[in-house]
Chains A and B, each alone.
Chain A
Amino acid sequence: MKTQKAPLSIRIIYWLTSFSLGMLNLVFIGAIIFNLMVNFNMFSNELDLAIELPVKVNFLEKGNLYLNNTDIEVELVEATSRIQFKDTPSFISRKIAFALIIVVSFGIYLFWTFRKFIKNVKDGIVFTMDNIGLLKKLAYGIAAFWLFSTVYLNIVRHYIASKLEFDNIEITSDVSNYSGILYLALFIWVLAHIFMTGLKLQEDQDLTI
């Protein structure tokens, strides 16, 4: 059911999503190649891979903040961090390469689903079972991504962060979480139900002579 031209904002969102999907596809190809090279030991132990640490680090560092022409003494007490391996062992490289494939695949699926939904809206096809299905898939996909991230964070915390030792830095057990991602999934799920109501209203309207 095509109507007039979609608003510019919708078209911009569609183009941005298409562009991001294209970039992700390139990243996926790179991730596949990287995986193959890691699994065939083409780097031996020469990779210096880095990963985000899902915990906060405590340390005491004094400094100054220059604001409103005033020099204010401050202390840096907490920060998030990432660690870089020197000559990453192959068993860690393989795990990181595998996790990269999973994350990029998720990203491609989510962007592809969202692009399909935006394309329908751009073409004036709004309240349909197809769009409701796409929204539900998006919600499931984002919820699954949150679950994967949570599991990954806890694995990294248990196997790496808890075994780190530094002279002047304390690694806390305060794990970051991505609860915002879960709330996004829940919001999209609710949006799918709103679209179901919209579909019913449209059907009633279409069957009003």
Chain B
Amino acid sequence: MAVIVNLDVMLAKRKMSLTELSQRVGITMSNLSILKKGKAKAIRFSTLEKICEVLECQPGDILEFQLDK
């Protein structure tokens, strides 16, 4: 997949667990897990907004584009 999700990096920087993020954002653990593992096909702006708000970061801190070789 060309778009990489660096959620675990931000969680480590903010010293937050996935469970706490899930509770504060209002998304299920399974969905966050899908996102963290890079298995999600798409992310809604509303979800991205909530994650960025809780982690106090920019979308670019969570999403990274890598060209497939």
B-contacting residues of A (Cβ < 8 Å)? 203-204, 207-209
Within 8 A of A (CB), among B27-66: 27, 31-32, 34-35, 39-44, 47
- What are 23 inter-chain pairs, A to B, with CB distance below 8 A? A203-B41, A204-B41, A204-B42, A207-B34, A207-B39, A207-B40, A207-B41, A207-B42, A208-B40, A208-B41, A208-B42, A208-B43, A208-B44, A209-B27, A209-B31, A209-B32, A209-B34, A209-B35, A209-B40, A209-B42, A209-B43, A209-B44, A209-B47
| CB-CB nearest in chain B for A203 | B41
**Count the A-B residue pairs with Cβ separation under 8 angstroms: how many?**
23
Mostly helix, strand, loop or mixed at chain A's interface? mixed
Which residues of A sit under 8 angstroms from B41, Cβ to Cβ? 203-204, 207-208
What's the nearest-Cβ distance from chain A to residue B40, in Å?
A: 5
Which residues of A sit under 8 angstroms from B31, Cβ to Cβ? 209
The complex places the Cα of A203 from the Cα of B40 at a distance, in Å, of 10
The complex places the Cα of A209 from the Cα of B43 at a distance, in Å, of 5
Which residues of B sit under 8 angstroms from A204, Cβ to Cβ? 41-42
The complex places the Cα of A203 from the Cα of B41 at a distance, in Å, of 9
What's the nearest-Cβ distance from chain A to residue B62, in Å?
A: 12
Which residues of B sit under 8 angstroms from A208, Cβ to Cβ? 40-44
The complex places the Cα of A145 from the Cα of B40 at a distance, in Å, of 44
The complex places the Cα of A207 from the Cα of B42 at a distance, in Å, of 7
| CB-CB nearest in chain A for B48 | A209
| CB-CB nearest in chain A for B5 | A209
Which residues of B sit under 8 angstroms from A207, Cβ to Cβ? 34, 39-42
What's the nearest-Cβ distance from chain A to residue B38, in Å?
A: 11
What's the nearest-Cβ distance from chain B to residue A60, in Å?
A: 71
What's the nearest-Cβ distance from chain A to residue B63, in Å?
A: 12
Which residues of A sit under 8 angstroms from B47, Cβ to Cβ? 209
The complex places the Cα of A133 from the Cα of B29 at a distance, in Å, of 32
